[in-house]
Amino acid sequence: MVNYNSLNYIEEHLEQYLDLFGRDRNPNTAKKYHDEFCFLMRDRWNKLDNINSEILEFDFHQLKGYNLWLPPIDPNKKFILIFGHFDTVPDCPGWDDNGSALAIIDLLVHWYNDLLYDCKSLNIGFLINDYEESDPRIWSILKEFQNSHEFHWSDLNFKQDSPLIPEWIKYVNEKLPQRDSFVGIRNFVKYLITTKIKDNVEIFINLETVGFTSEDQLPIPNVPVVVTKGDFIGLVGNQDSEKWINRFMNLHDKDLPELQKIPLIVPQAGHMVPDSRNADQSVLWDLNLPAIMLTNTAYFRNKNYHKSTDTEVDFNFMARLCQHLINLFENL
């Protein structure tokens, strides 16, 4: 049996995962890999003795979307749901965004499989969801625009003084005036409603960019906490999730490795901290569902965010987060 108390083992697992799967997963620039990714993960997980995951395909206009769902042992009882998106922006290997989350979820699925040999009372579901980064129709429009201009798309994100930005906004508004956000998680919520298990989810835990650390940390607008070093994990939740944030903050096992955690409860579904809504859990907050985002704060820390250089993560940091999550679940 694997020793999940070994940081070295967890680090090796996480690193091997990203070596295998850490590449562009954008539905336009890497369509083949995007479309097969959940099937690869399903086959990987279902080789484990106690795991039976399934692909939930859905249609979005002319596109196919894919969510990978590993149901809890008993979906008719209260359960924890851990999730993270797998799609990337164009030409981005997405190690931090969001391969770091995928690697941790993969490690937790292996841990859960081993746990189920002896204990079937811990009820956890896992989800890898599609289409977080944008309305997926936007990427083909971006390609059209890019073909007529000499630039890399990330210039639109990071060069705010670029004269291309107003031109791009005009172009995309003409081509796609009505856009949808967080399509994959919205589709999954419909699935939870259809199967009548939505209200059985005790807490949704979204892993969103959880791999990068830095000596630098930018301030986050409307957040009173002042931190200058990017070596913490943020726990951002709505008021319905406060009990779970407190549980995570109050882990006191002397054998746990050190991990700085900073909590933030956002009222009004995060609208007072707009940056907190740039991820899938905002859909859940809007529905008054208890949801937490675990995050390294993404672009407030990671210089490689949404760039082709997103191949740098801190495996020790990720491993420590894994151990804290395992400790939290094992002590419920």
Residues 114 and 304: their CA atoms lie apart, in Å, by: 35
Domains of the chain: 7-133+181-330 (3.40.630.10), 138-178 (no CATH)
Please state the three-class secondary structure of the chain as a single string. CCCCCCHHHHHHHHHHHHHHHCCCCCCCCCHHHHHHHHHHHHHHHHCCCCCCCEEEEEEECCEEEEEEEECCCCCCCCEEEEEEECCCCCCCCCHHHHHHHHHHHHHHHHHHHHHCCCCCCCCEEEEEECCCCCCCCHHHHHHHHHHCCCCCCCHHHHCCCCCHHHHHHHHHHHHCCCCCCCHHHHHHHHHHHHCCCHHHEEEEEEEECCCCCECCCCCCCCCCCCCCCECEEEEEECHHHHHHHHHHHCCCCCCCCCCEEEEEECCHHHCCCHHHHCCCHHHHHHCCCCEEEEECCHHHCCCCCCCCCCCCCCHHHHHHHHHHHHHHHHCC
Q: Phi and psi dihedrals of 262, rounded to 5?
A: -120, 120
CB 214 within 8 A of CB 302: yes
User: 259 CB contacts (<8 Å, ≥6 apart)?
Assistant: 233, 317, 320, 321, 324
Residue 161: the pLDDT is 67
Residue 1: the pLDDT is 73
Residue 157: the pLDDT is 66
Residue 119: the pLDDT is 84
CB 316 within 8 A of CB 11: yes
Residues 228 and 215: their CA atoms lie apart, in Å, by: 8
Going by C-alpha positions, the residue among 181, 189, 179, 187 that lies closest to residue 291 is 189
Per-10-residue mean pLDDT, the chain, length 332: 91 98 97 98 97 98 97 97 97 97 98 92 97 96 86 66 82 95 98 98 98 96 92 98 97 88 96 97 98 97 94 98 96 90
Residues 13 and 39: their CA atoms lie apart, in Å, by: 20
CB 182 within 8 A of CB 282: yes
Going by C-alpha positions, the residue among 100, 128, 92, 82 that lies closest to residue 13 is 100
Residue 254: the pLDDT is 82
Residue 202: the pLDDT is 98
Q: Phi and psi dihedrals of 154, rounded to 5?
A: -65, -15
Residue 158: the pLDDT is 57
Q: What are the structure tokens assigned to 246, written together?
A: 């407190």
